[in-house]
Amino acid sequence: MKTLKKLSLLFLATFVLWSCSDDDDASTPMTTPTPTTLNIVETAQATASLSSLVAAVVEADLAITLSGPGPFTVLAPTNEAFAEFMSANGWATVQDIPDAALAQTLLNHVISGTVTSTDLVGLGGGYTNTLADGAGGNKVSLLFDTSNGVMFNNMSEVLTADVTASNGIVHIVDKVIALPTVVDHAVNNSNFSSLVAALGAADGDLVNVLSGTGPFTVLAPDNTAFSTYLNGAALADVPTDALSQLLLNHVVGGALSSNDLTTLVSGYTNTSASGPGGNALSLYFDTTNSVSFNGISTVTAADVVGTNGIIHAVDTVIDLPTIATFATSNPALSNLVAALQYADSGTPTVPYITTVSDATAGPFTVFAPTDAAFGSLLTELNATALTDLDTATVDAVLTYHIVGANVQSSMLMSGPVTTLGGDITADATNFTLTDPNGRVSNIVTSLVDIQAINGVVHPIDKVILPLQ
């Protein structure tokens, strides 16, 4: 294999020398052809400062790919850049670099299509994708910024722009652009400086955690989001353990792209933050109108892909969710919220909303009737609206949906379940609840274990009633 690569390099050198000569007149001196007569690999071969790049391309078996039709935009590190990169990693030659790592590093310098410096300056800054493989089968993202020259990933600057080739364009750069993790992406983008500071200040060495294998999906609040959340306080004022849980509430296991989320439309996933009993906190996402989380935080820049995960920039810090968070963020539970508010309006008031909104309360288990369940109840009671019932009745009904403990679905046992209103009967095999009247409610198994910091929610398809 090494011999074949050397022969390939020799062939390229011979081909370029041949293409730069005039076979019809041996006395005619060799001249440099117009750039468009050479493809990208040949252009690099003809440029003395890119000989290390050519050797790396051949070593990684990418010469044929980059000689193909393209078009490609190649960010071409100089010989000095390669020497610095190899020295930093303890490699003497490109042959010392593992083949897979070398190939992916080189592909991290290749963009599909032709992107000129004028194109980049016109955009000002943002992200594009390289041909390197990132988390979840997505291509690695590349940050560009033209506010002071043309920079990539806040580390590699264009020295010579717009070297044209027959199958694309080359920009010569002064640094090898290392494959980025999600932490690298956060560090590279100044809009995430508050997030980076928070990661460094938190308990548990979260920087190293998020630099690990992953994959992770990180919902990254921008600087404005952090400033709003702190509301004049300093980051140092936040206890480190609380800060850790807050940040972990923005980390989801796996690589979820915006396309993955929009395909699902809406639903729940778990974050890396912990709730009662060490259970992972839930996160509600909804893509019906942009992509939002827990009803408060919206994605402003999606799919920043690293080798170990994906970042979605969000406009609001996502605080640890309460039961109220999930009741108010999911439109399918709007009638439950209305029932809680209506019960609170009675005399004396019952502070349901205050209680379920209190992160220090509980923990509770709430069997949450869906909107359809409340609609069926009104039909069953020959009522047209919830307000046709008196507040004391609504209060009595609600108490049968609340248990004074955090009971996840795996903990549910067949037999009596003591609610705040009285006993109901659970069937842990069929996931049903039977009220004192013999009416059966089905627990919606696809939505169980919606875990908040003050309790857990299990949606049900029928309202539970006290003994009639």
pLDDT of 36 reads 58
Instruction: Assign 3-state DSSP to the chain and report helix, strand, coil percentages, each to 5.
Output: 40, 25, 35
Please report the pLDDT score of residue 204 as a whole number: 74
**Cα 182 → chain centroid:** 9
Find, among 318, 289, 278, the residue nearest to 410 by Cα.
278
Can you list the alpha helix ranges (DSSP code H) found in 211-350?
Answer: 223-230, 240-248, 258-264, 323-329, 334-344
Q: Around Cβ 98, how many Cβ atoms within 10 Å?
A: 10
Take residue 375 and report the two structure tokens written for it: 């609609």
- For position 168, what pLDDT does the model report? 97
Q: Which two tokens stand for residue 111?
A: 């963009």
CATH of domain 324-460: 2.30.180.10
Phi-psi region of 214 (alpha: psi -120 to 50; beta: other; left: phi over 0): left
What is the identity of the amino acid at 116?
T
Tokens 């003395």 sit on residue: 48
Ranges of CATH 2.30.180.10 domains, the chain: 2-179, 183-321, 324-460
* pLDDT, position 2: 43
How far is residue 268's CA from residue 282's CA, in Å, rounded to a whole number? Answer: 6
d(CA 186, CA 205): 15
3-state secondary structure of 375: helix
Tens of pLDDT, residue by residue over 252-273, are 999 999 999 999 999 999 999 9
User: Which architecture, in CATH terms, is 183-321?
Assistant: Roll (2.30)
The ranges of the chain with pLDDT < 50 are 1-35
Cα separation of 29 and 156, whole Å?
37
Q: Encode pLDDT of 207-257 as tens digits.
A: 999 999 999 999 999 999 999 999 999 999 999 999 999 999 999 999 999
What is the pLDDT, as a whole number, of residue 9?
Answer: 42
CA pair distance 57, 304, nearest whole angstrom: 26
Residues 125-136 pLDDT 10s: 999 999 999 999
Give me the CATH topology for the region 2-179.
Answer: FAS1 domain (2.30.180)
Neighbours of 326 (CB within 10 A): 26
d(CA 1, CA 338): 71
Nearest Cα neighbor of 248 from 212, 219, 228, 213 is 219
Amino acid identity of residue 196, one-letter, is V
Q: Which of 344, 340, 342 is nearest to 323 (CA)?
A: 340
Q: Which residue is associated with the tokens 């042959």?
A: 95
Q: Are 422 and 407 in contact (CB under 8 A)?
A: no
Q: Where are the beta strands (DSSP E) in 63-152?
A: 72-77, 110-112, 125-133, 139-145, 151-152
Query: CB of 202 within 8 A of CB of 209?
Result: no
